[in-house]
Amino acid sequence: MQPDARFRFENFVVGSANRLAVAAARAVAEAPGSAYNPLFIYSASGLGKTHLASAIGNYARGLQPTLQTEYVTLDDFVEQLHAAISIGQTLSFTQRYSHVDMLLIDDVQFLTGRRETQTEMLRLFNALQGSGRQIVMTSDRPPNEIADVDERLVSRLAGGLIVDIGPPDYETRAAILRNKCDERGVALRPNVLDELAKTEFSNVRELQGALNRVIAQQQLGGPIRTDQVRIVLGEPAPSWRAPTPAKAMGGEYLSFLSDVASVVAQNVEGWRMRISEAIAFWNGEGYRTAVLERALHLKQQPDIEGLLGMYTAAIERLRSLETEVNTLDPALGASEAFRDPERVNEAEDIIRRAQSGEIPPPGPSAAFTRAGYEVSPSNQMAVKAADAVAADPGGKYNPLFIHGPSGTGKTHLANAIGNEIVEASGGAIAVSYVSAGEFIDELIAALQEGTLERWRARYRAAGALIIDDVQFAAGKERTQEELFHVFNVLHGEGKQIVLTSDRGPKELEGLEERLRSRFEGGLVVGIEPPDRTLREKLYARYLSMVEPPPEDGLLAYLSDRPAASVREIIGTVNRLVAAADVAGVALSVALARAELEGVGSAPAPAPANARAMDAFFLDDEKVVWDWPDVAGRAIEEWR
Amino acid sequence: MSLVNYATREITCKIVYYGPGRSGKTTNLHYIYSQVPDDRKGKMVSLATQTDRTLFFDFLPLDLGQISGFTTKFQLYTVPGQVYYQTTRKLVLQGADGVVFVADSQARQLQENIESMQDLHANLGEQGIDARQIPLAIQYNKQDLPSDMILSVPELEDALNFWGAPNFAADALHGHGVFETLRGISESVLKKLSAGAGAR
């Protein structure tokens, strides 16, 4: 049902008793769903609730003809609901209402005791408010005085703005009377109107009734005199007047509150509201809003449409850029630049570079530092070589080929080299770190997607390239071919290449000769399983973290035991700590001995020479002899 | 502290009740407190001496709830009127959005009123605030006393209100004029919402 078109703001007389209500109603009509939602208007009967609610609907539709408004009295609502229930169509009933943009419900005090209706209404409220649709309600009493209504519904009724309409004062009454006379084309003597207006009526209907009587009298017996008014009206029944809110307990506070509300409503600056709404919205969407926040602090109103327009346009641009970058490389889409309208240029730049393959693969992990790498005779050659490479990337040993059994710290060292290079160059050299496994996966993906050129370009853009576990490339022809080209390009440009492998180039079966010779062309250096010095250092480091401190002799005992890798050392410490925990004692040599050598426990770690490699290659010096050319210089240097 | 924060949708309004000792500042706050519905009542903090004079300050937080989409809070403070609590007065005055000057209408208190008003000016001045710029309301309290004991509002106006701040006659003990004063000062303060000065 549409609101009665006769009820408009233009013919609603505004006085002190209803000023706030009218202001709120207008605000709601102008911006449905955003100003006060729900708007709850209450007053004694006949003071204009229905008029005001209808006026909201009419005015709002005048402003936005597409707006769907629905006016319904609670009684009608209940009736419709019952009808819907009787034909089993409750859902379509709720759906019908939940698509309304503005719902005007009259006389909600009749909710009292109607549980079923309350439940439906609660659902409807959630649906409407959740989608930012406006609800306007009228009642003859405030929400918390409507008896027997679900608490949750009461709190929703009261959740927006509650305004009351008081009985009209003299001026309002006079204005209403004049309006009514105009509407009906009746002329009364000014004094007569005045006399009528002076009579205190508790509501407008009574006033209208009195006017009707006077007009009727006049039509019968000619113009009426002032002194006749009282007689015509008879002794009007002493009109009931609602106690003015100010006299009731807490009423002073409430009237103070409504006063503050109207002052705030008048003074809050619309443009700041709009900006803050935009900020809240876009923050919620995950975009930076610094531009808007700065605008919020301006003294003067900026060109708000222009500002918001530009901002939204920038976000649209970012969104399309983000979609674009995600098709190129999802990892790049994580960049903050795609979330900040002030960095559109940067975002565009990222895309441009991604398209041209200028962005090299990601760098080494910062977790592996050179400082955190323990040095001992078993790995000191590799470390020295690494330091030399870090000091002069691409200059001294290119490539650097580090090999050693699993868990001896090759990955750590390779990352540390990368980090050192990045740091020494102040970030100027973009070091890329990739495991051969990733390299292969990427290559396959690039072949699949037909983006091989871009993939190649990325690797060629690296300032230095570290490839971990290069043994995985063995036997893979296409990978080796690509690796060969990347190697040549980077090497030709004097860029450092670091390779790690679980065995030396010579032992890499399935490695093409052209690659093997290139890998051997720099420096090949091995890392041995931890020697006693390194074991002691590592055990000391890990045991120092154990609480309570272990027995003194434990470090020496453990260090004396062979360990194939750093991982094994960490594993041993963890195992002992767990065993000590179970036994409820501190770590001791006896416990370690029982745990590590005891019957039934895990066998002693495999000795270093368990690997199927000629002992010849385990000797530092001899390994070095394997290297032609450059290696010779290296040995001289280290002696 | 800014009056309004558009970003977080908050209005925080600090109003300080100023005036000579025993003029009824705390009584104002007590009356307001008594009128606040229970569900809106914060805790009124009163740091009073044993003789029931305000030693440090009274603090009455008022949570007005959502107003035009803003979480609106009023903080009402009183300062100790006694001359020797100068430091506390300065502290409490910091960041005030508006000041209510509660004057004691008794004829014999006139000098105290004047001195307190001068003190207010000096303390505001120290914080770089021009007393003519900050919203101010003057309340002439104890107007219920026999007329031979008190000065009339026009007489007090002449003595205290040099720049025509809104004034209110009151009997704070019985609540007359208390909310009128609060409403008056609130209006002046909240008008600054649109002046842009509040939104820092």
**How large is the ipTM?**
0.86
Kindly identify which residue of chain B lies nearest to residue A294, measuring between CA atoms: B200
Are A108 and A76 contacting, i.e. CB atoms less than 8 angstroms apart? no
Test B72 with A260 for CB contact under 8 angstroms.
yes
Q: B196 and chain A: CB distance < 8 Å anywhere?
A: yes
Residues of A in contact with B70 (CB under 8 A): 264, 268
Average pLDDT over residues A529-540: 84
Q: How far is residue B190's CA from residue B11's CA, in Å, rounded to a whole number?
A: 9
A426 or B32, which is more confident? B32
Q: B187 and chain A: CB distance < 8 Å anywhere?
A: yes
Kindly identify which residue of chain A lies nearest to residue B37, measuring between CA atoms: A250
Residues of B in contact with A144 (CB under 8 A): none
Lowest mean pLDDT across A131-140, A446-455, A627-636, B135-144: A627-636
| Nearest Cβ partner for A261 among B68, B179, B194 | B68
Q: How far is residue B180's CA from residue B167's CA, in Å, rounded to a whole number?
A: 10
What pLDDT, on a 0 to 100 scale, did the predictor assign at position B199? 40
Lowest mean pLDDT across A140-144, A414-418, B21-25, B80-84: B80-84
Test B11 with A264 for CB contact under 8 angstroms.
yes
Q: Which of A40, A145, A244, A260 to mutate against chain B (most B CBs within 10 Å)? A: A260
Residues of A in contact with B36 (CB under 8 A): 250, 253
Lowest mean pLDDT across A3-17, A40-54, A368-382, A595-609: A595-609
What pLDDT, on a 0 to 100 scale, did the predictor assign at position A234? 62
Dump pLDDT digits (tens) for A514-531.
Answer: 888 888 888 888 888 888
Q: What b/e string do you get for A185-208 counting C-beta neighbours within 10 Å, with b at 16 or more?
A: eeebeeebbbbbbebbbbbbebbe
Test A264 with B191 for CB contact under 8 angstroms.
no
- How many other CB atoms are there within 10 angstroms of residue A109's CB atom? 19
Test B35 with A250 for CB contact under 8 angstroms.
yes
Kindly identify which residue of chain B lies nearest to residue A247, measuring between CA atoms: B35
Q: How far is residue A478's CA from residue A484's CA, in Å, rounded to a whole number?
A: 10
What pLDDT, on a 0 to 100 scale, did the predictor assign at position B1? 52
Model pTM score: 0.42
Average pLDDT over residues A257-274: 82
In percent, the amount of chain A with pLDDT more than 70 equals 89
Q: How far is residue B20's CA from residue B119's CA, in Å, rounded to a whole number?
A: 10
User: What tokens were used for B83?
Assistant: 């001359």
Kindly identify which residue of chain B lies nearest to residue A33, measuring between CA atoms: B69
What pLDDT, on a 0 to 100 scale, did the predictor assign at position A65? 87
Q: CA A416 → CA A368, A377, A531, distances in Å?
A: 5, 19, 21
Residues of B in contact with A280 (CB under 8 A): 7, 9
Instruction: Describe the strand order of the beta sheet including A134-139 as a list of residue ranges.
Output: A69-73, A102-106, A134-139, A39-43, A161-165
Q: B182 and chain A: CB distance < 8 Å anywhere?
A: yes
CB pairs under 8 A between A and B: 84
